[in-house]
Each structure stands twice: as C-alpha cells, then as structure tokens.
Amino acid sequence: MLIIEDSIAYKHEVRVAETQQTQQTQQTNGLEVVETREWLDSLDYVLSKGGAERAGRLLQQLALHARRAGGVNLPFTATTPYQNTISVRQQPPFPGSQEMERRIKSLVRWNALAMVVRANKIQEGIGGHISTFASAATLYEVAFNHFFKASNESGDRDIVYFQGHAAPGIYARAYLEGRIPKQKLQNFRRELNPGGGLSSYPHPWLMPDFWEFPTVSMGLGPIQAIYHARFIKYLENRGLKTSTGGKVWAFLGDGEMDEPESLGSITLASRERLDNLIFVVNCNLQRLDGPVRGNGKIIQELEAIFRGAGWNVIKCIWGGDWDSLIQNDRDGLLVRRMGEITDGQYQKYFVESGAYFRQNFFGTDPRLLKMVEHLSDEQLARMRLGGHDPIKVHAAYKAAVEHTGAPSIILAKTIKGYGLGEAGEGKNITHQQKKLNDDELQVFRSRFGIPIPDDELHNAPFYRPADDSPEIRYMQERRKQLGGYMPVRKNRATPLKSVPESHFEEFYKGTEGREASTTMVFVRMLSKLLRDPEIGKLIVPIIPDEARTFGMEALFRQVGIYSSVGQLYEPVDMDTLLYYKEAKNGQILEEGITEAGSMCSLISAGTAYANHGINTIPFFIYYSMFGFQRIGDLIWAAADMRCRGFLVGGTAGRTTLAGEGLQHQDGHSHVLALPVPNLIAYDPAFAYEIAIIIQDGIKRMYVDGESIFYYLTVTNEPLPMPEMPSQPAVREGILKGLYRYRPSAKKDAKLRAQIFGSGTIMFEVLKAQEILEKNYSVAADVWSVTSYKELYRDANDCVRWNMLHPKETPKVPYVTQVLQGAPGPFIAASDYMKVLPESIAQWVPGKLLSLGTDGFGRSENRAALRDFFEVDAKHIVLATLTTLARENQVGSDVLEKAIRDLGINPEKLNPAIS
C-alpha cells in the first residue's frame, strides 16, 4: 500500500516539478515534459495491468539501475505526502448503518460531556476531560461497532489500551449498553459517594470488573502494549495459549508520543513482527498547553519515526469531503499546499471561518482558489478530517487488522474538543474545559441532535433511549456479534495447586559451612521450580541482560532463551555446556538492556491470569538500583493492575555490592518500596528465609488469589547459609517480618541488648554479638528482620483500629508482641537507609538506635564500605554500648575506650552528606 502511495506521491512531485519547470523554461524543456509524461503513462499502464506490487518492484528496479548505471541517488525520504495512505479507490464499503452509528456516537458524546459538566456543577473543581474523547469519538465508535473483538472465531480476544483521558466516553458507552447505572455516572470522580462512583481514569485497582490497563500515566500504555503483544506470541510459541488471532490495540494521544516510553521500544515490535499490535494515535495536534508541533507536523514526524522502525504506517488525514478535490488535483498543487502548512496554522483553521480558510489556505494560488470555487464558506469550514470520518477510519482499521508481518500504526487527524464550538473546539484551553454554560450546552445538544428540551438543559441530564430503541438495539447487536462488551476485566484463570514443600527442603538445611550468596540460592531455587511438572512451564524468568551477573547462565541451556524465530546462527559458545541457546519455545525472556521493557514483560506475565486465563509466574531479576529508582511508575502501574509475580533486586545493598560505587550501590530500594500498597517487600539474610518467602508468595498469589506482588532483595556476597531454627514461630516470623534468630546463651548477664539484622548485614550483627559478649560482657539477642515494611504495615493497622474502636481491647502490633519483655535497648543494622528501621521505632518497646547506609556509595571493598557507612560489626558494638550508656548502664569512659579499641576514627567523614 505504501508503495502505491509512494508512487502516487512521486508522480505528484514530478508533476509539481514539471509544472514549475514548464513555467520557467517552457521551450527548452519541452522535450523533458514529453519524456516525463511518457514515463508516467507507462507507469500508469503497469499499475493498471500488473497492480501495485508490480509497479513497486519496477520502481525499485529502476532506482537500482539508476544508481548502478549513472550514480543517481534518490534523496532519502522517510515520509509520504500529507495525504491518506488509503486512497478512495482502495476504500472498502462501510459495513454498517452510518446514520445509526452517527446517532449512537452522538449519544455517547452527549453523555460523556454531561458526566464531566454535571460533576463540576455539583462539585466545583472535581475535574475531568471533555475534549480528549470529543476528538476521539469516531475512532472509538468505529472500533466498538466493527473491530474490538471480545471473542473471535478461535476463542481469542482483543486487548484494548484506552487513552486515559478518554475515560468519560468509555463510561458513557457502557451506560448506554446498560452496564453502568446512572447513579455511578452521577458520581463520576466521586468514588466515595454513597452507591460508589467512577474512577477518574482507567484503574483496575478501583474498578476491577471494568478497567484492565492503567494508561493515564502517559507513555506507559504504548510500551506495555508492545510487550503485551510480544508476550502473547511468547505464550503461543510456548504452547501455553492455543487460541489465536486477537489484536492488541493502543489508543494514544499525539502529545503522549513525546514520552520516551512511547517510542523507546517500537523497534522490538517490528523486529518481532508483531502484526497483532495496532497503535491508534489521535492526532488532534494539541496537548495540554497548546499545539504538539505548532511549527512542524506531528503526523509526518511520527510517520518518519515509525516507518523507519519498520512499522506499517497508515495515515488517515482527510475525510471524504476532500476526496473529489484530491482526485482532481492533477498537478499536485493541493497536496503540496497541504504539506507546507504547519500544525499550528491548521489549528487556526479549525477555529476560523470558512472565508479565512479560503483566503489563507487556498488563496496563495489562483488555481487552488479555483478548485474550491464551487464550495461555500460554510461548506469549506465543515470539511471533515479523516479521524472524524467513519468510512476513512474503518478503512484504516481494516487495513491494519489485515496487515501481516509488522505492527501497524494509524495516525488519525482530528480536532481537539470537536463539537464544543465556542466552548473550546480546537482552542488552546480546550484540554482543561470542564464547564459549559447553558448556551454552549444548547449548541452542543442541537449539533448532535439530542432530544433534551431547553428547559432541562441546565443540569446537563444524561440521556439514554429505551432498551428497545433502534439505537440501543443496534449497539447491543454489534457488540453481540463481536463477542460481548468491552472493557471487561475478570480473573480468567483457575487457581493453582500449592507447590510441593519438597522443592524447598534443601534450603531449610543450609549449606553446612559452604559459602553461598543469596543470589546463588535464589537461582538454584528458581531452577528447581522450573523443573516442577506442574508449575515449571508457567514460570517466566525475565532478565535485562544481567544473567551472568547473577550466575544464571546455566538456565540458558536448561530452559532456553525465547526467540520467535528460534536460533538462526551457530552460537559462538556452542561447544560449551552452557551455550547461549535461543529457541522458539525458550522460556527465558532475555530482554536486553531495558528495565522498562522487562518490567512490561513482568506486567504481561503477572496479569495473564486475568487477561488470558494463564497463571504465568514471572520472576524479574535485575540490578536493584535500576528498579524502583528507574522504573518506579511502571511498578506503580503493576500494583494498580493487580499484577502478580516477583521483582528480584539483585546485587542489592549499599555495602554488599563491592567496587561498583555511587551509581550501582543500592541502599534505598526498600524505602522506595514502602509507598506501593500491595507490594510485599523482603530483605532476607538466609537461604531458608528465601525458601519460605517464595513458597508463601506463590501460595498467596496463585493459590489464594491475593492481589499482591513481591519485592525480594538478593545479594552477591558468599556466606555460609545456616540451618533454619526449629522453633515453629520462625516460619511465621519470617513472613511477618521479624523473629529471634540467635538468642544470647547468657540469659542472666547484667548487660542485655537486642540487635536487629537484615540481609547480609545480619552477618556483621552476628559478629558484633560475639564481640559484645566476649569483650564487653554484653549479652545480646539477635533478631532477623526480613521485612520492615510488613512490620510497619501491621503496626499501623493496629494503631488505626485502636483509634476507631476505643472501647475494645486494643490490638498489639506484631513487632511489640514479639519484643515484649526482651531486655535492654534495641539496635538495628541494615544495608538500607536508617529511616527503614526507624519506621517501626515507636512500636519497639524500648529505645531504638538505627544504623544504615544513608548517602552516596563508593567504589571500595565490602569491609571499607561497611566501615565508611558505619554498619560493620565494630560500629554495631559501639552503637550497642552507646545505647547502654544512654540508659546509664555503662559509663562514657567505656565508650571512649571502645572507640579506641575497635579502631574507629571519630573524625571520619559523615557518609550521609559526603
């Protein structure tokens, strides 16, 4: 198709050039004119006899020949002329009733607008958006009536990412379909009002039966759609999903395309030949403040980018009103004029009169003026754009759906705030428009023919015709034909059975003195789970080019790296045991260096239970520093989507990752994990803790169906993994966040203390316990804190409940319960910021002193780092003595001596600020 347009475009250009030449040097170039005409006629002949493909091949051959024979290099062009990609001749007939669909669309428009206007009349400043959907109504309605398949012939379904700010339109349609009651519509953006309301934007957390994808943080929709489309192919290639043919649609704003996430992964889509993916960009030429590209052309810019990336680009710029003008544009004058106008100027035409349009656009050339002399100013002003013309939109969608071998993008030109007239159509303020006065409501009502009398307009009432009205019957019938309503979110999977305990038993025993890092432990556990006959195939290991960093390369061979084409080369390490094996049914998603892409894969796999009825269990293993800090908003989206799975922050800890320095040493990801409400975060120290956590995690998410996901830090310091203590409370303690790991044997010592350790710093705590006992006669109990976040959550829950139930027996936070009666002050040491233990300080029954790693990392070895950050054994000893001194149990002279004996420099730099 592009080839045809190219050839047409080429002909236009040639004709334009020809016209110019003709004017300048008519006589001398007369021969050239004839020659050109002959070539064009020949091409027309080939086109009519051999078709577009043959003509395309011929042009390619010509270009090749010209280069070889005469060194002719055609100038590079990434764009085609500013015209529709699909010409009138190629346009398929519209398969529905245009009139009926126009009426339905008007009803949707009205109710979407009424929803926002009403909400703001009742509650000043509650917000909402009118103009985004107003510009996109045709794009959605054509899709709802003819394309969005809730179920196709093979039982598959389409997946749709709705543009977040278009939510009112999607609610309005669901209201007309009878799926959302009027009361909820009235409570748009008032979710806490009696009877419940509707969330401002798509949020599966808030409307778990309706919305599937949170899209309103712009840029996250497009990148997720790409990885979702790829994940669908992964499921199919691995035989986990049998039904096929569903499409992933992503409806996006043209302003949104500036987000790096929108464009950053588009080559993955073409590389993977994702013909199940369709982007629809609503090119209303505006974003929030003003034009997207006032001085340029967003459609052309996006065309160049996506064509360059190998996508099938379909431009839908001009509506049917332009067809005859374009067809009669023999000399390409009109298309040239269309191409030279900037978007800022086009926007001006949207708000100006037909006379202005005539004079400013066509008035530059008498021949252009002549082309439109049969049209009145009013007709000129109403010339529809492609994105508002159902026939053009239908043609574009059909071409995209039928395209094979590459993803498609539709660039549809529209007017922001379409139909709002003076209230905002095409104006810079339109994005923020939420209120319409009575006159403006009247104009909108009349323009779209909504049967609401003038005297009722003031309150912007909703309007829904009776169930048996032709409009409602038509729209219901269309959805029935397409398999049901959309969007609908539900859990489409059946729960898994519990994973056998036997997979984890080896880890309860420890390593019997051998050293192993928790990363090694985790990888071993993962490879065992991968072998499980039930859940093994459901596990999705996701790695952004760090498998070797984490010692995971053995998995390459064990389960293979997913590649949609298999392995087309002989890997360089073929003769080794652990060679780089790519396979069509490979299980590992080796994403390359993209944490954002990997996170999107985790989201796709972690929501497949709802989207595809498949309980895939993702493990995304990455450098912990590049998680929350870099892709925090995607993690937030995962939480909103009720995503399941495990984020595994590898090489974690500010002082445990030696040598790497400031950029890589993570001492705060657990702090950044605090805000995500349904994320369970653990910083385990021992192999058996990881075993308990993962086992319980799989159970809670995939057996019990809880809407939670996990963050687990693992480290790369080889340490001897101990056996799990036999007390039954240990298991519960690990999961709740705290248990006594090694009590002091000297229960009757005079000086007592309680020390919390987490992650690898636990081993420093254990060393400190020995020094304290041997050199300072302090008997300290050591506690393992696996999750400050869990302790904090539980304690807050108790405090809140107690506040609200003053007459009931107060609940005691878990942390207080288990520490009750533990003698002495409390000291906490972790590889994370001091604020993490301090978050639970008020529920610790005694004074707490927290040691942590606030500040920038350094390139150094572990011992030097722990000294610098003051989290090594000697600082833990000093902290313990200091807390005892505060309670007057030891004197300051003991502290001074200890500082000397332990070799601590009291004048050293403060790591938190240096």
Query: Which residues are near Mg ion by CB under 5 A?
Result: 253-255, 284, 286
The CB-of-663 to ligand TPP minimum distance in angstroms stands at 24
Q: What residues contact 241, with CB distance under 8 A and at least 6 apart?
A: 232, 235, 612, 614
Indicate the residue among 132 and 665 with the shorter CB distance to ligand TPP. Answer: 132
Indicate the residue among 202 and 722 with the shorter CB distance to Mg ion. Answer: 202
CA distance 914 to 57: 65
Q: Tell me how far the alpha carbon of residue 839 is from its chain's centroid.
A: 30
Of the residues 105, 190, 241, 287, which one makes contact with ligand TPP according to CB under 6 A: 287
Pairing of strands 582-583, 679-682: unpaired
Indicate the residue among 255 and 857 with the shorter CB distance to Mg ion. Answer: 255
Span of 207-215, 252-260, 528-536, 841-849 interacting with ligand TPP by CB under 6 A? 252-260
Q: How does DSSP assign 192-227, residue by residue?
A: TSTT--B-SS--TTT-TTT------STTHHHHHHHH
| Interaction pattern, residues 215-234, with ligand TPP; x per rule: CB under 6 A | -xxxx---------------
Of the residues 165, 336, 489, 644, which one makes contact with ligand TPP according to CB under 6 A: 165
The CB-of-347 to ligand TPP minimum distance in angstroms stands at 12
The CB-of-834 to ligand TPP minimum distance in angstroms stands at 32
Q: What angle do CA 429, 435, 438 make, to 5 degrees?
A: 120
The CB-of-429 to ligand TPP minimum distance in angstroms stands at 13
Of the residues 80, 237, 262, 282, which one makes contact with ligand TPP according to CB under 6 A: 282
Indicate the residue among 413 and 445 with the shorter CB distance to Mg ion. Answer: 413
Span of 283-291, 389-397, 855-863, 905-913 interacting with ligand TPP by CB under 6 A? 283-291
The tokens of 525 are what? 């556990």
SS3 call for 711: strand
Of the residues 262, 270, 286, 594, which one makes contact with ligand TPP according to CB under 6 A: 286
- Closest by CA to 625, choosing from 663, 676, 681, is 663
Indicate the residue among 96 and 421 with the shorter CB distance to ligand TPP. Answer: 421
The CB-of-416 to Mg ion minimum distance in angstroms stands at 6
Q: Is residue 214 a contact point for ligand TPP (CB under 6 A)?
A: no
Of the residues 246, 253, 487, 759, which one makes contact with ligand TPP according to CB under 6 A: 253
CB 435 within 8 A of CB 120: yes
Which listed option, Mg ion, ligand TPP, none, makes contact with residue 165 (CB within 5 to 8 Å by class)? Answer: ligand TPP
The tokens of 225 are what? 């759609």
Q: If you search the block for the tokens 């960093």, which residue do you land on?
A: 549
CA distance 167 to 188: 10
Indicate the residue among 409 and 815 with the shorter CB distance to ligand TPP. Answer: 409
- Contacts (CB under 6 A) with ligand TPP, residues 412-471: 416, 431
Indicate the residue among 284 and 850 with the shorter CB distance to ligand TPP. Answer: 284
CA dihedral in degrees (731, 737, 739, 741; nearest 10)? 90
Encode burial over 498-523: b for 16+ CB neighbours within 10 A, e otherwise.
ebeeebbebbbebbeeeebbbbbbbb
CA distance 829 to 785: 10
Q: How many residues in the chain?
A: 914
Which listed option, Mg ion, ligand TPP, none, makes contact with residue 722 (CB within 5 to 8 Å by class)? Answer: none
Indicate the residue among 255 and 419 with the shorter CB distance to Mg ion. Answer: 255
Indicate the residue among 199 and 282 with the shorter CB distance to ligand TPP. Answer: 282
Indicate the residue among 343 and 717 with the shorter CB distance to ligand TPP. Answer: 343
CB 549 within 8 A of CB 522: no
The CB-of-217 to ligand TPP minimum distance in angstroms stands at 5
Position 663: which residue type? Answer: Q
Which listed option, Mg ion, ligand TPP, none, makes contact with residue 218 (CB within 5 to 8 Å by class)? Answer: ligand TPP
The CB-of-387 to ligand TPP minimum distance in angstroms stands at 11
Q: If you search the block for the tokens 């969007």, which residue do you land on?
A: 487
CA distance 392 to 858: 60
- Contacts (CB under 6 A) with ligand TPP, residues 710-749: none
The CB-of-257 to ligand TPP minimum distance in angstroms stands at 7
Number of residues that bind ligand TPP (CB under 6 A): 18
Pairing of strands 778-785, 848-851: unpaired
CA distance 207 to 201: 10
Indicate the residue among 217 and 243 with the shorter CB distance to ligand TPP. Answer: 217
CB 782 within 8 A of CB 769: yes
Span of 279-287, 561-569, 592-600, 857-865 interacting with ligand TPP by CB under 6 A? 279-287
CA dihedral in degrees (627, 628, 630, 632; nearest 10)? 120
Position 249: which residue type? Answer: W
The CB-of-635 to ligand TPP minimum distance in angstroms stands at 15
CA distance 20 to 24: 6
SS3 call for 850: strand
- Contacts (CB under 6 A) with ligand TPP, residues 530-559: none
Q: Is residue 288 a contact point for ligand TPP (CB under 6 A)?
A: yes
> Quick count: other Cβ atoms within 10 Å of Cβ 71?
7
Phi-psi bin for 422: left (phi > 0), alpha (psi -120 to 50), beta? alpha
Q: Is residue 256 a contact point for ligand TPP (CB under 6 A)?
A: yes
> Quick count: other Cβ atoms within 10 Å of Cβ 577?
8
Indicate the residue among 256 and 872 with the shorter CB distance to ligand TPP. Answer: 256
Indicate the residue among 286 and 695 with the shorter CB distance to Mg ion. Answer: 286
Which listed option, ligand TPP, Mg ion, none, makes contact with residue 132 (CB within 5 to 8 Å by class)? Answer: ligand TPP
Applying CB under 6 A, which residues contact ligand TPP? 132, 165, 216-219, 253-256, 282, 284, 286-288, 292, 416, 431
